[in-house]
A and B are shown apart, each in its own frame.
Chain A
Amino acid sequence: MTSARYRIEARGLTKRFGRNLVFKDLNLELETGNSLCVTGPNGSGKSTLLKILAGVLAPSEGKVMYTDIDRGSVLNEWISCIGYSGPLINPYDDLTAMENISFTSAGAGPSRIDSLLHRFGLTAHKDKKIRFYSSGMKQRLRFILAELNDPPVLLLDEPGTNLDESGRHMLRAHLDEASKEKIIILATNDGDDQTICGREIRLG
């Protein structure tokens, strides 16, 4: 999937919750191989922006467009192009990691699944129910689920949260590699994560 080139354009994005204005008239444009870091204080709308870009939250004004550059077509629904990971993404507690993976997988082969489980150190825990996972293990699983179908766009909300030192190294190495062939948008205030990105926008 990552061989295709995509473009994300957001024009005039504004989000209000009732009378509370979160951000106003936000514009961005990214193509495959670009990465963007969204920073800002708590409540500035980082997670909200990522949800809008993922298409699970409607903006109050403005629009988001995903374009398949090679085909020159604008996508009506782009959920299959996105890998989304964030603290609000909760896999099913009553299912094992493998069952959650098989629910998320849209044709990911066993070799990709094994390689991601191995890379993020969950091979030995793949048949455990998620309710028995630590918060760091859950965060690793979130990242595996986001990357599983090798999406051309990765939206990562606070990706380093709850990860130990080795988890951060793994994530960093993976993102360094992935940033060459995907669009990566990180919402974070972690200085280490920010160095992965070529561009930054600050909210709030």
Chain B
Amino acid sequence: MGEEILRNLRKDFLVEFRSRFALNVSIAFAVIATVSLSLTAGGTPFSPLVQSILLWIIIFFSAMNGLSHIFVREEDQATSLFLRITVSVDSVFISKFLYNQIFMMIIIAVVTPLFLFFLQIHVALICYFICTAIAGGMAIASCTTIVAAMVAKAGGRGSLFSILSFPLLLPVLWVSISSTRGALDGSSPAEDASLVFLLAFSGFISAISFLLFRFVWIEE
């Protein structure tokens, strides 16, 4: 199984980095949104709460542009049957899940420094800020993997993915925003529980998704 997961992960990265479609679209969105925001703001100072809301809105929509691609591409290019007969159901889910986690970390790694730089934001608790960004990113990728698998089989995939993901991600965004605000203004991270919540939420959704993926993947 481990060998199957690695083969599929390697294939997904090879296909993605040969076209770079999803990554380019997501990073382009993140850069455009951040630069436009900083130009529009024109040096106006935002409160830490507004800054963290803006950061997570940009992360959310950048992710929405790319996270569904991992399953949608298989349907668009009609390769899903080839994948089904080559790799077992569990290996498909785990490899796509890992791919989305790595993809999300790349988005976070690009968006966050850009955002801090262009909006001239000072982070009071840098380690806590990084942990929040990573935990929030993991939770977003965990929730959206199963949604992407379901949406890939439907029509109107692009908009459907954002719409279906949003209610599932609402608690994640809420907690991530509040936790990021704490890291920016240096208020005592009384919301330490928020990191635990984000990790627990990721674990819970991932486990449920793993168990249910078989019913999405095998056609009825």
- Interaction A to B: yes
Q: Count residues on chain A whose CB falls below 8 Å from chain B CBs.
A: 26
In-complex Cβ contact of A90 among B11, B79, B220 (8 A): B79
Contact residue among A57, A79, A89 (Cβ-Cβ distance under 8 Å from B82): A89
Contact yes or no, B220 A88, CB < 8 A: no
Within 8 Å CB of A106, what residues of B? 3-4
Contact with A along B65-89 (1 / 0, CB 8 A): 0000000000001110110111111
**Which of A34-42, A92-100, A170-178 binds B?**
A92-100
Task: Tell me the minimal C-beta distance from A115 to chain B in angstroms.
Answer: 20
Cβ–Cβ contact A99 & B88, under 8 A: no
Bound Cα distance A79, B8 (Å): 15
Are the C-beta atoms of A56 and B19 separated by less than 8 Å? Answer: no
Among B14, B78, B82, which residue has the most Cβ atoms of chain A within 10 A? B82
| Structural contact, B82 and A56, CB atoms closer than 8 A | no
Q: Are A99 and B14 in contact (CB under 8 A)?
A: yes
The CA of A89 and the CA of B3, in the complex, are separated in Å by 22
Which residues of B from 5 to 50 have beta carbons under 8 Å from A? 7-8, 10-11, 14-15, 18-19
Q: Which residues of A contact B86 (CB under 8 A)?
A: 79, 103-104, 145
Check if A91 is an interface residue, CB within 8 A of chain B.
Answer: yes
9 pairs, CB–CB < 8 Å, chain A vs chain B:
A54-B85, A57-B219, A77-B88, A86-B81, A89-B81, A99-B11, A103-B86, A104-B86, A106-B4
Interchain CB contact under 8 A, B85 and A84: yes
**Does the CB pair A79–B77 fall under 8 Å?**
no
**CB proximity of A201 to chain B, nearest CB, Å:** 22
Contact A91:B81 (CB < 8 A) given known A56-B218, A106-B4: no
Q: Quick check: B79 and A58 within 8 Å, CB to CB?
A: no
CA distance A82 to B4 in the complex (A): 15
- Docked pose: A56 CA to B85 CA in angstroms: 7
**Interface hits, B137-189 → A, CB 8 Å:** none
Known contacts A92-B15, A104-B86; is-contact A56 B81 (Cβ 8 Å): yes
Complex contact B81–A88 (CB within 8 A): yes
A58 touches B219 (CB 8 A): yes
Identify the 7 closest CB pairs spanning chains A and B, nearest first: A84-B85, A56-B84, A103-B11, A94-B18, A90-B78, A57-B219, A89-B82
Q: Report the nearest B residue to A88, measured CB to CB.
A: B81
Q: Which of A80, A86, A92 is close to B11, meaning CB atoms less than 8 Å apart?
A: A92
For chain A residues 35-92, which have a beta carbon within 8 Å of chain B?
51, 54-58, 77, 79-80, 82, 84, 86, 88-92
Evaluate contact between A94 and B219: CB separation under 8 angstroms: no
Instruction: Indicate the member of B84, B88, B219 with the most A CB atoms within 10 Å.
Output: B84
A104→B8 CA distance, assembly (Å): 9
Residues A79 and B81 in contact, CB atoms below 8 Å apart: no
* Assembly CA distance A80 to B7 (angstroms): 14
The verdict on A93 contacting B77 (CB below 8 Å), with A77-B88, A103-B86 known, is yes
Q: Which residue of chain A has its CB nearest to the CB of B91?
A: A79
Docked pose: A55 CA to B220 CA in angstroms: 11
Q: How far is the CA of A90 from the CA of B82 in the complex (A)?
A: 6
Contact of A56 with B219 at beta-carbon distance under 8 Å, contacts A84-B85, A92-B79 already known: yes
Tell me whether A91 and B79 are in contact (CB under 8 A). Answer: yes
Measured CA separation A103–B7 after assembly (Å): 6
Which residues of chain A have C-beta atoms less than 8 A from B10's C-beta? 103
**In chain B, what residue has the closest Cβ to A84?**
B85
